[in-house]
A and B are shown apart, each in its own frame.
Chain A
Amino acid sequence: MNILMNLTLYSPELILILTLGFSFTIHLILKNRVITLSLVVFGLLAAALDILVLYAYPGQLYFSSQLSHDVFGLFFKLLFLISCLLTLIFSYDSHEIHPDRFGEFTLLLLAVTIGLSTLVAASHLLTLYLSLELVSITSYVLAGYRREHLLSNEAAFKYLLYGAFASGTLLYGLSLLYGTTGNLSFYSIHASLNSAYIDPFNLYAILFMIFVGFAFKMSAVPFHMWAPDVYQGSPTPVAAFFTVAPKIAGFAIFIRFFYLIFSNETVVPGQWEPLPYLNWASVLALLSAATMTLGNLSALFQKNAKRMLAYSSIAHAGYMMMGLVVLNQTGLSAILFYALVYVCMNLGAFFVVSVLSNHFQSEEISLFKGLGWHSPFLALCMTFFLFSLTGLPPLGGFIGKVYLFWALVSKELYWLLWVGILNTVISLYYYAYIVKEMFLERPSSKMSLQVPYVQQAILGMLAFALIVFGLYWEPFYIWIQSSLTFTIFQ
């Protein structure tokens, strides 16, 4: 494979790298946020376009099998680009992002995005680790972006410490895996795991160590504890990004890693089975149940909107893990679909909090009081996001959950389904509480929230997207089903 082909397949990330460097330099020179932002937006759009072009290329491995090019990765890359783009737009006039340091911010955010994009394409332990660390280390900085802010410092430190622990464990696990199989490429590892018998307990230990790293990104119980604190301490747009992109990346790499390494495709198309001596599905089921329950219960009585949404995002990780439990096309496409919807609704909800936070310099839930009466559009969008998070039709969140539940039903995993359902009901309570504050309470004082039109438009689009996902999701689902093809090394 020639270098040109390698670069072509890596071009979206390259575009992002160029954008990163260029925009940062321009910002240093011009100190003009508008120009920087437009450059970055342009770069992101170009990258997105590039990804669409790349859909035409057949699945293959490149950079000496370090990375794999397949539609699965492209799907996630698109999601990351969208998240990044929206986050940037909302951080533009966030009070938490100092205008002078906007350049740094874009730099960091783009770096994270590059890391994420590479991560989902990784098919080699080294790339996996490097891209993961790229994401992590830049994320620590982003979390601590408000240098003078105590909570931001705290968030950064906690993130750092926990992240270091998680990636250290992951790394140790990777080293053991390497030691067990003698290979670093996913495909070779899979091959050697299949060919030789390995004590299942050892394998479990390795698996769990690696899982710590992924679960940290997914914020799955019991490795979720950093999440609320970090999300709360980070600037709101950053928190929005954190709850979405790295989490989804965690799922993506989990799927890729575990399916390429720890399972066999069965004769039934779209159906995988774990390696004969591994039964990690039931462990995952337990963790999934724990994750959503803990997330929802903790979210119940929160006073801070960001913190509440942080816990809720943990719960949503739990929902998505239900799909992991089901080892087949149905379960995975349910995760992917849920991820798609989740990007829209969670970003939307965080952005509304961000808008409010810009206005009030605080994120207390009580600020939502009477929002529906003075800013009906904002409140309406928020309602859509929240009800979609709850999983009410006719919004995308409902369909996402239906697919997840459906996956469970198709595996006859009713107990987990039951847990999921109870959680849905519990979650309604705190989501609806905000809705209640917005509409059922009258505003305490006369005020008007000025929201830039671009942001309004974005919120409106997100809300509209949720309705589309809720009413006519067919094309998206077909797209997602086709996105579930991994390059298989010959």
Chain B
Amino acid sequence: MLYEHLLSFMIFTPVVGMLIVALLPSSQKNWVRWSSLLFTFLPLCLSGILFLNFDQALADMQFVEKTSWIPTFNIHYAVGVDGLSITLILLTTLLSFLCVIASWGIEAGLKGYFSMFLLLEAGMLGIFCAFDFFLFYIFWELMLLPMYFLIGIWGGPRKEYAAIKFFLYTLFGSVLMLVVMLAFYFYSDPHTFDLIELSKAGILKFNALDIFGISLSAEQFAKLLFIFLFIGFAIKVPIFPFHTWLPLAHVEAPTPISVILAGILLKMGAYGLLRISYPILPHETYWFSDALAVLGLVNIIYGALCAMAQITLPEAKGGNDLKKLIAYSSISHMGYVLLGMSVFTVEGIHGAVFQMFNHGTTTAMLFLLVGVIYDRVHHRKIDGFGGLGNVVPIYTAFVSLAFFASLGLPGLSSFISEILVFLGSFKVYPSLTIVATLGIILNAAFFLWALQKIFLGPLNPTYKSLKDISARELLTLAPLAILVIVLGVYPMPALDLMKSSLDHLLTLFQAL
């Protein structure tokens, strides 16, 4: 029973939790907190069981549950897990659990907050488990609503703008995805939403047709669909021209939500590309790979430069915000993922998926850390600190660890993934990769600069008696720190999980 429906249990436990939390009296704040903790802990345990029972040698979906849902439309409730998704599932359950701990201090609208949070977790887990496109889409959107409220209600001063922007952007992306979904269904024979069925050769056959008076051949139409799908996912990643929602949303969201946003939501775009675009439209993916590589490069460099500008720009011009710096650095780091994905080499793709995981852990740490300091001093101005290193040594140590992990210091997990990405992409795009390595320097530059501004130099007397990290905060940070270090020294536990599936994915491209 448990093993057969493991994934369903995992996805729907938070939903049950949401209902329970919603029914608790709002005066019992601690009950709400503890039950939320429980209902994020249970999925964590379930994902642990999943991890232990996961067969690394299999490339296909495991723990599959597939039952007919809407027979007239051939929609299935189909969930399963493979090497591509398992790391992200683990990341999701872990971060959700940690974020509940990090949300302990929230007072206003506690019940609503945790209900939304649990719904969000269910949505995220659903996305990573679903392999029916329709189900995937439902979860994809399901996650949007709680996110909107979480940013919009519990966010910072410009929360409304941030929330609506996030919402509009993502909705725009997802309606494009909807078109592609319907087109896949229509052009597949037999009609199906099953991603695995769709990826089989010969199922999808496109026709030539006219759109707006422009006649498209079948191949061009497939490319058009790919681009639609790509934009849908690109907005989530976010890829360069579609990124402007991100700094704002990250900055305005409350800390735990920023963590989820950066740690998990950004991965969904890349995951979607790998799960849907790659296997189903391999030729189009291949056709697009040059552009993807360039976009990856742009993300890397552009994100890094914008992050650096956070240090140089005064506050009035929208700079000087630590959280924004981290947000932009996320853009830069997701660039590595894109770069790795754009080359169909073993190193590249493993690097990309591993980078997704690593970015999840490091950036989660970063946002949690910003939250820690924000809780104490109620601002995030990079200029507003100075010399905290001796006042809050443990905090400093964690920040340094997170910063160094983000800038790809060897021995920490991001390094492995970045190096894999580079080794992979160098084979295909040597010159481009060389330019991309600039990103490493730029990343180092702004992270170190920020580190210096905040922790080094003469002590700002205002913060003479700043409190160091509390036990609860330590609890949220330590697991991530351990992951960062352990996987940095020995990455195989994570890479082993994804190996078979990614190799299988690559076989699709070997003939191209």
Contact = CB atoms under 8 A, between A and B. Distances in A.
B179 interface: yes
Given A387-B145, A432-B167, A440-B152, A421 B179 contact: yes
Interface string A448-478: 0000000000000000000000001110011
B209 interface: yes
A415 B145 contact: no
Interface residues of B, number: 37
B494 interface: no
A417 B212 CA distance: 11
Interface stretch (B33-41, B50-58, B156-164): B156-164
Interface stretch (B135-143, B388-396, B479-487): B135-143
A10 interface: no
A67 B197 CA distance: 48
Interface in A383-413: 387, 390, 392-394, 398, 402, 405-406, 409-410, 412
Contact of B72 (A398, A433, A478): A478
A421 B159 CA distance: 26
Given A398-B141, A406-B185, A415-B211, A428 B70 contact: no
Interface residues of A, number: 35
A406 B186 contact: yes
B153 interface: yes
Nearest to B68: A474
A373 B176 CA distance: 34
B178 interface: yes
Contacts, number: 84
Given A410-B186, A432-B148, A474 B137 contact: no
A394 B142 contact: yes
Contacts of B144: 392
A472 B75 CA distance: 11
A402 B133 CA distance: 13
A417 B180 CA distance: 11
Contacts of B141: 392-394, 398
Given A406-B186, A440-B159, A474-B70, A393 B171 contact: no
Given A393-B138, A474-B70, A474-B71, A432 B186 contact: no
A415 B164 CA distance: 27
Contacts of B182: 402, 405-406, 409
A24 B297 CA distance: 75
A425 B172 contact: yes
B42 interface: no
Interface in B24-74: 69-73
A392 B207 CA distance: 30
Given A421-B175, A425-B171, A440 B163 contact: yes
A169 interface: no
Interface of A: 373, 376, 387, 390, 392-394, 398, 402, 405-406, 409-410, 412, 414-415, 417-418, 421, 424-425, 428-429, 432-433, 435-436, 439-440, 472-474, 477-478, 481
11 contacts: A392-B141, A398-B141, A405-B182, A409-B186, A410-B186, A421-B175, A425-B172, A428-B167, A428-B171, A429-B164, A435-B148
List 5 tightest A-B contacts by C-beta distance, closest first. A393-B141, A440-B152, A409-B182, A421-B175, A393-B138
Given A393-B142, A398-B141, A428-B171, 16 more contacts: A373-B109, A390-B171, A394-B142, A405-B178, A406-B186, A409-B179, A412-B207, A418-B179, A425-B168, A425-B172, A428-B168, A432-B148, A433-B164, A435-B148, A436-B164, A474-B70
